[in-house]
Amino acid sequence: MQNDITDKVMATLGVFVRATVYVMLILPAVIVVIASLTQGDSLSFPPKGFSTQWYSNAFASTPFMSALWTSTKLAVTATVIVLSVGSAAAFAIARYRFIGSSLFQSIALSPLIVPVVVLGLGLLQFLSWMGFSQSYLGLFVGHLIIMLPYVVRTMVTGLLLLDRTLEQAAMNLRAPPFRVFCRITLPLLVPSLITAGVFAFVTSFGNVTLSSFLASSGTVTLPVQIFTYVEYSYDPIVAAVSTIVIAVTAVVILVIERAVGVDKLF
């Protein structure tokens, strides 16, 4: 009897904790969406009236739309490149033992340890010395560096959890290594690739600190544009732009759910 009561209390407590976490995660986004629909000239919650004028202003704003295009182009391009490089690095780490393999893994994961401010300052000095400071190439390289650890960690985990007996069975049937990789290994790694791609894209798209160091007037990303805008203005266009970003993220999650399922993704 005592055990049944304890189980019910723990179950109730678990539901309460989960509900609290969900509310804390969702509430800020909900507040931003609601605040973006105000008729007032300043950002406030609850909103004053109902209007979609700030969405029209957001889409008509050249700085915000240009920054949105820059962030999207940068995140997509960098994700494609870092998936190729990171997957190759993860394959070497997970499948081979060579001199300096531990050091190689530590270097690949080091951007997770080094503070982003320190990394941004170091990259700024290095790229300035190389002649690529305040350029799109420098910003691109910086985003590749901060995205790489997420891809490497995810792909190493996927490779370690992969059932290698399937690859061995294919090789026993005299399938060439390239065919084994394309027909067996790669399809089994698709969930890990999607997961790594999502982590990399989100890391790049939402980065503020590093982009503040490396961006120039022609390569301002959306988070930097929002951060700069709120320093001198507090109108609801910022909430409207943020809502657009939330909507794009929701669409990405929906596509992933339809393609592979969010539960399989993680």
Tokens at residue 10, please? 């723990």
With tokens 């704003």, the residue in question is 61
Name residue 194's amino acid. I
DSSP 8-state assignment for residue 133: T
> Is the four-CA dihedral 254, 257, 263, 266 of positive or negative sign?
negative
Q: Which residue has the higher pLDDT, 230 or 151?
A: 151
Which positions ≥6 away from 107 have C-beta within 8 Å?
Answer: none
pLDDT tens digits along 210-235: 888 777 767 788 888 888 887 777 77
pTM higher than the cut 0.95: no
- Distance between CA atoms of 248 and 236, rounded to whole angstroms? 19
Q: What is the pLDDT of residue 265?
A: 52
pLDDT reading at 1 higher than 60: no
Main-chain phi, psi angles of 71, to 5 degrees: -65, -45
- Distance between CA atoms of 115 and 201, rounded to whole angstroms? 20
Pair 81, 142: CB distance under 8 Å = no
Q: How many CB atoms lie within 10 A of CB 43?
A: 20
Pair 151, 87: CB distance under 8 Å = yes
Main-chain phi, psi angles of 223, to 5 degrees: -60, -40
pLDDT reading at 266 higher than 60: no
pLDDT tens digits along 187-206: 888 888 888 888 888 888 88
- Distance between CA atoms of 78 and 200, rounded to whole angstroms? 8
Which positions ≥6 away from 167 have C-beta within 8 Å?
Answer: 180, 184, 185
Determine what percent of the chain falls in helix, strand and coil, rounding each to the nearest 5.
80, 0, 20
Pair 256, 185: CB distance under 8 Å = no
What are the structural domains of the chain?
Answer: 62-265 (1.10.3720.10)
pLDDT reading at 241 higher than 70: yes
pLDDT reading at 40 higher than 80: no
Pair 192, 265: CB distance under 8 Å = no
pLDDT reading at 62 higher than 70: yes
Residue whose C-alpha is closest to residue 199's, from 241, 242, 247, 158: 158
